[in-house]
Structure 1
Amino acid sequence: MTIGIGLIGTGFMGKAHALAWRNANAVMGGLPPVRLVHLCDTPLDKACAMAEQLGFEAAGDDWQALIADPAVDVVSITTPNALHRPMAEAALSAGKHVWCEKPLGVTLADAEAMAAASGDRLTLVGYNYLRNPAFTHACRLVAEGRIGRLFHLRGWVDEDYQADEALPWTWRCRASEAGLGALGDIGVHLISLLTALGGPIDSVVAEMGAAYATRPLPEGGDGAVENEDVASALVRFSAGFHGTLTISRAAWGRKGSLGFEAHGSRGMIVYDQERMNELQLYTNDGPKAEQGFRTILTGPEHVPYGAFCPAPGHGLGFNDLKTIEAAQFLAGLAGGKRPGPDFAQALEIERVAHAIARSAQADGARVMVADTRG
């Protein structure tokens, strides 16, 4: 079978999706072939130019027409957050499979509705950092007990794309268009990693705030920043241990610092996405005079690194993680393991982010994640 791909949006993430669809079978092999059928963006001349650049057969500025196209089997949604729900629901109603970027929607109600609409369709949410071979190896080390009993997770995600006070106001500052701020944009990535390592989070105690109350409007004057630039939380995992999360989109000098320390009874694992091809491992075995952190460079032993490169230490990149996502999606369509997080699993990630926001809005009161269920 050949899978027809429709892509809505051609920004950074739209291009990443297009490259991933094109590369998945070439890198991994054994997957259903794809046709890049239909691309949608506005204005129309941009859509036409990007369709030619990325290799799509048709272009348009009407996303509903893309969804109605009988040649489209899978819809990639890479638009601003407020458009995720209507587009995903329309695609699922039309019998399409959906790969959507995070977060699912502007509100928790949006995310719940999207999960409920999924039915038997294959859905996937773009938590690409979960695909990093260094991270999946960290998960194996924890599962195998290499650092003993896990008792604390310390995580952070820091970027500086909102650090400049002079940066103009954009839709990311408006709650009705973006929903949560740093929590919804990058904090959910951190939550996805920590819950993959340590299991579900039961409750949170949190604070959050804006680095700047207003930002300059392009037409003059100032616009209010309606969501958070920074957030921090104490979290309690279902397994009984605790952790901390710190999140900032206004951290000067940090470009993609998404990382954690996993503390165990026999050692520690340290990871940072800015050095995405490395893992730091400490174990307390051997003579104390020789104990210390060792650096693990990813290589063919860390599946699926070897599908990209036969030589260890040469490194993968961001777009390679999207290729792994696309490959897993295609494998799921062919009857293999369904990839995750699907819409239902992504909803649980977003419940934690909204619980953090609720706790902060309640002056740091403990909020049970289960209480975010309507």
Structure 2
Amino acid sequence: MSTIGIGLIGTGFMGKCHALAYGAAKAVFGDIPTPRLELLCETPADKAATMAEQFGFARSTDDWHVLINDPAVDIVCVTTPNKLHAEIAIAALAAGKHVHCEKPMALTLDEAEAMARAAEAAKGKTIVGYNYIRNPAFQHARRLIAEGAIGRVIHFRGFVDEDYQADPDLPWTWRATKAEAGLGALGDLGCHMISMAVELMGPIRSVIGDIRTVHAMRPSPDDGTHKPVENEDIASAIVEFANGVQGLFSTSRSAWGRKNRMAVEVHGAQGMICFDQERMNELQLYQNSGDKAMQGFRTIMTGPVHEPYGHFVPASGHQLGFNDLKTIEAAAFLRAIAGGAEAYPSFQQALQFERVIHAIATSDGQRVML
């Protein structure tokens, strides 16, 4: 397979991210099939044509059914609002396509489970957009933990916060409704931390969660009235991993000053590892060894020794960015398709993250076994 045709549905923040990623993947990695930016879908039709030209796609359409049935399209990228994920992804799999879907998988757990079942029965491969786990610094943390750099792991803490809903006077949008967005902070942000926690610690087997909506009403952008917010602004949980280790989890979309805080602490019997996506090219490591007078956290700056950083730039300190992580993810999907391997996380694997966030949303202070 020398080339793979890409179809993109949706041209917002993540749509552009996918276009950049598939457009750059071959130049960055080389050892993958060449992506062809084949067909873009957006509404209305004139916007689709404009965005196709901007993003570098050969053609455009305003009908996603046309895109998933186009013989030149091999991978369908689903970057639409959450409510459309399940319908499009299931239809694309039925049409024999590979599917690259953004998180969360769907509005509800039932929909996510239906997507996973469809993937099991389909010939196409699937992947869900958890690109933060692709960060070379984060992957170095995973390796250090696995190699015993901090000894036996005894505790996990994860925080993911942004302030895009912190202002109580911010106008009401579709993100405030369960019918359009599904979960709130958990679906938007928290699922990323669950993917990171599982990557470092293994599966989660139980949660005790609590959710809060701190701005219950927001002004309507249409008529000045106020409309209710139906999903959570803040969620917290005590989690237990399958290995018996306890963890703490918290997410907020109303945390003033936080722009993309994804902070992880893994405590070990002989040290600690800390990572924060807002400083995504750095890793903090503390090891309780050697001269006590010289002990302290040290900063590891990512560079070419931390794969695949060197594919982007040959020198340390020049730093990768958010879109580079999606390029790594896109390349991994292309490589999996070409080689016949399963991509990670597939729909079946990402369903486990969905189960965790929905368990947190429904536990109401009671332990929920997963």
Distance in 1 (alpha carbons) for counterparts of 2:264 and 2:66: 43
Match for residue 235 of structure 2? 231
1:331 positional shift = 0.5
More deviation, 115-124/91-100: 115-124
Distance in 1 (alpha carbons) for counterparts of 2:306 and 2:222: 51
Identity of aligned residues (%): 63
Match of 1:172 among 161, 175, 188: 175
Contact 2:304 2:313 in 1 (8 A): yes
Match for residue 79 of structure 1? 80
Distance in 1 (alpha carbons) for counterparts of 2:257 and 2:273: 24
1:109 positional shift = 0.4
Distance in 1 (alpha carbons) for counterparts of 2:286 and 2:23: 39
Residue 180 of structure 2 aligns to a residue whose secondary structure is helix
Distance in 2 (alpha carbons) for counterparts of 1:241 and 1:294: 25
Match for residue 246 of structure 1? 250
Alignment deviations for residues 107-141 of structure 1 (CA, whole Å, 9 cap, x no partner): 00000000000133210000000100000000000
Equivalences, count: 366
1:30 positional shift = 1.5
Match runs of 1:107-256 below 5 Å:
107-118=108-119, 119-220=122-223, 221-256=225-260
Whether 1:292 aligns to 2:293 is no
Distance in 2 (alpha carbons) for counterparts of 1:367 and 1:177: 26
Contact 2:96 2:123 in 1 (8 A): no
Which ranges of structure 1 fall in alignment gaps of 5 or more residues? Answer: 370-374
Whether 1:34 aligns to 2:35 is yes
1:338 positional shift = 2.8
Contact 1:328 1:338 in 2 (8 A): no
Distance in 2 (alpha carbons) for counterparts of 1:301 and 1:179: 40
Distance in 2 (alpha carbons) for counterparts of 1:122 and 1:67: 14
1:177 positional shift = 1.2
Residue 177 of structure 1 aligns to a residue whose secondary structure is coil
Distance in 1 (alpha carbons) for counterparts of 2:295 and 2:124: 50
Distance in 1 (alpha carbons) for counterparts of 2:317 and 2:290: 26
1:72 positional shift = 0.5
Match for residue 275 of structure 2? 271
Distance in 2 (alpha carbons) for counterparts of 1:127 and 1:7: 17
Contact 2:160 2:261 in 1 (8 A): yes
Whether 1:327 aligns to 2:331 is yes
Structure 1 runs (4+) greater than 4 angstroms displaced: none
Distance in 1 (alpha carbons) for counterparts of 2:81 and 2:91: 16
Q: Rate the CA distance shift 1:233–1:161 in 2: closer, same or farther, 3 A.
A: same
Residue 147 of structure 1 aligns to a residue whose secondary structure is coil
- Residue type at the aligned position of 1:252: W
Residue 326 of structure 1 aligns to a residue whose secondary structure is helix
Match for residue 23 of structure 2? 22
Distance in 2 (alpha carbons) for counterparts of 1:197 and 1:281: 15
Distance in 1 (alpha carbons) for counterparts of 2:123 and 2:291: 54
Alignment deviations for residues 320-340 of structure 1 (CA, whole Å, 9 cap, x no partner): 000001100110111164321
Distance in 1 (alpha carbons) for counterparts of 2:66 and 2:299: 50
More deviation, 264-273/205-214: 205-214
Distance in 2 (alpha carbons) for counterparts of 1:212 and 1:43: 33
- Residue type at the aligned position of 1:229: D
Distance in 2 (alpha carbons) for counterparts of 1:117 and 1:128: 23
More deviation, 112-121/84-93: 112-121
Residue 332 of structure 1 aligns to a residue whose secondary structure is helix
Whether 1:316 aligns to 2:320 is yes
Match for residue 107 of structure 2? 106
Match of 2:353 among 321, 333, 349: 349
Distance in 2 (alpha carbons) for counterparts of 1:73 and 1:339: 15
Residue 169 of structure 1 aligns to a residue whose secondary structure is coil
1:34 positional shift = 1.6
More deviation, 102-111/215-224: 215-224
Distance in 2 (alpha carbons) for counterparts of 1:54 and 1:158: 30
Distance in 2 (alpha carbons) for counterparts of 1:215 and 1:349: 29
- Residue type at the aligned position of 1:82: K
Residue 306 of structure 1 aligns to a residue whose secondary structure is helix
Normalising by structure 2, report the TM-score: 0.98
Distance in 2 (alpha carbons) for counterparts of 1:365 and 1:330: 42
Distance in 1 (alpha carbons) for counterparts of 2:65 and 2:340: 30
Contact 1:202 1:238 in 2 (8 A): yes
Distance in 2 (alpha carbons) for counterparts of 1:31 and 1:336: 13
1:68 positional shift = 1.0
Normalising by structure 1, report the TM-score: 0.97
Distance in 2 (alpha carbons) for counterparts of 1:237 and 1:54: 42
- Residue type at the aligned position of 2:74: D
- Residue type at the aligned position of 2:284: Q
